[in-house]
Structure 1
Amino acid sequence: MNGRRELEDRLLEVLEPVVAIDGYELVDVRLTSDRGRTVLQVFIDHERGVTLEDTTRVTHLVDPVLDVEDPIETSYDLEVSSPGLDRPLRTPEHFRRYAGETVRIRTFEPIDNRRNFHGVLLGCEEETVRLDVDGDEWRVPIAAIERANIKYSFDPPKGRAGKVGPGKAGKGRAAKGKAAKGHAGRGTAQSTRPHGPAPNRTAHGTEK
């Protein structure tokens, strides 16, 4: 596990209970770079969907917590948004919920000489993800996964999805509808937080 992932895991531990107080699910956090500036992406979800007001509210919830914990050493932008169509997958429950979807998975280290997997998600057994890649079933431990996302497509997924059974395939299609709903109402609230004493802050929201 690299240093970035360790920091992301720490941020998840700090922010998850804060976000859950108001009934939101903390889907994932990711540290990225945009034109040389660090961006902390916080992905949230709610059973009724996510609006711009939700992302703004969560921004206000996590901002003071980040001030106190101060986990990121450099200046950074905080971006809170819904997961969108390319929803991140992180927990066993995520991988079970979206069985039947087409996904992309990247591992920290090669598994049988490959790190990138693109196929149909078959489900999750305990801490192991089952994935159909071109007709072959792969089993990938969650602990070995660096990144995993739904790969949204307007075409029906190929592979063994039809062999999994009507229940799981139907569940996957329902999950896709939920993801589409989240994307349609996707909002992004951003606050710029220079690291250091007496930081200046600006906040704005945009609909996407």
Structure 2
Amino acid sequence: MSRKNIIKTVREHCEPIIEELGYDLVDLEYVKENGRNFLRFYIGKPEGISIDDCQKVSEVISDKLDEIDPIESSYYLEVSSPGLDRPLKTDKDLKRNIGRNVEISLYKNIDGRKKFYGILLGYTETHITIEEENGIERNIEREAISNIKLTVEF
């Protein structure tokens, strides 16, 4: 089975379980690093993720993965928080973060800039809307965006 199909199969079987436990499946990857295969689940919840949360999810999905056995070779299962500066990839990510500060990186300059900062106001299938520091609302085409992530403030 291809890596893409493995991810699709694992997501179909494990995402509902993760959601039943009260978490969001933020991202899922199956990668080879230093000759080893890793199946990585990145989970989230509004109040943040603890080590106990990761262990709980790991135990439950490990049983499910044993049951469906989607990966023929050996692999390491990892469950973790995606981190504060992770990219917002899905509409679910965007919805969860409306009202928060984001940084948007573009493939090419718009108005002489490749980065925009502001409060995420909303999104559509084709655009992301932010309010910049100067109060101006800016609609940016999703096709022009290379990366969007939360800004980390200390």
TM above 0.5, yes or no, is: yes
2:134 matched residue in structure 1: none
1:102 matched residue in structure 2: 103
Structure 1 residues 72 and 58: CA distance shift in structure 2, 3 A? same
CA distance in 2, matches of 1:85, 1:153: 7
Q: Name structure 2 gaps, 5 residues minimum.
A: 109-113, 131-137
Any conservation in 2 of the 1:27–1:88 contact (CA below 8 Å)? no
1:204 matched residue in structure 2: none
Alignment root-mean-square deviation, CA: 3.4
Q: Cα offset for 1:131?
A: 7.4
Pairwise mapping of residues 1-208 of structure 1 onto structure 2 (< 5 A)?
3-98=2-97, 100-103=101-104, 119-120=115-116, 123-125=122-124, 127-130=125-128, 137-140=140-143, 150=149, 152=151
Q: Name structure 1 gaps, 5 residues minimum.
A: 107-111, 113-117, 155-176, 178-208
Q: How many residues align?
A: 136
CA distance in 1, matches of 2:78, 2:106: 23
Q: Cα offset for 1:74?
A: 2.0
Secondary structure, in 3 states, of the residue corresponding to 2:143? Answer: strand
CA distance in 2, matches of 1:77, 1:101: 33
Which structure is richer in relative contact order (CA contacts within 8 A, separation 6 or more)?
1
Q: Which amino acid aligns with 1:137?
A: I
Structure 1 residues 104 and 9: CA distance shift in structure 2, 3 A? farther
Q: Which amino acid aligns with 1:140?
A: E
CA distance in 2, matches of 1:44, 1:30: 12
| TM-score, normalised via structure 2 length | 0.68
Q: Which amino acid aligns with 2:18?
A: V
1:173 matched residue in structure 2: none
Kindly provide the CA deviation profile for residues 112-150 of structure 1, in whole angstroms up to 9, marking residues without a partner as x. 9xxxxx64486420x335378xx9933339xxx9x9562
| TM-score, normalised via structure 1 length | 0.53
Any conservation in 1 of the 2:88–2:149 contact (CA below 8 Å)? yes
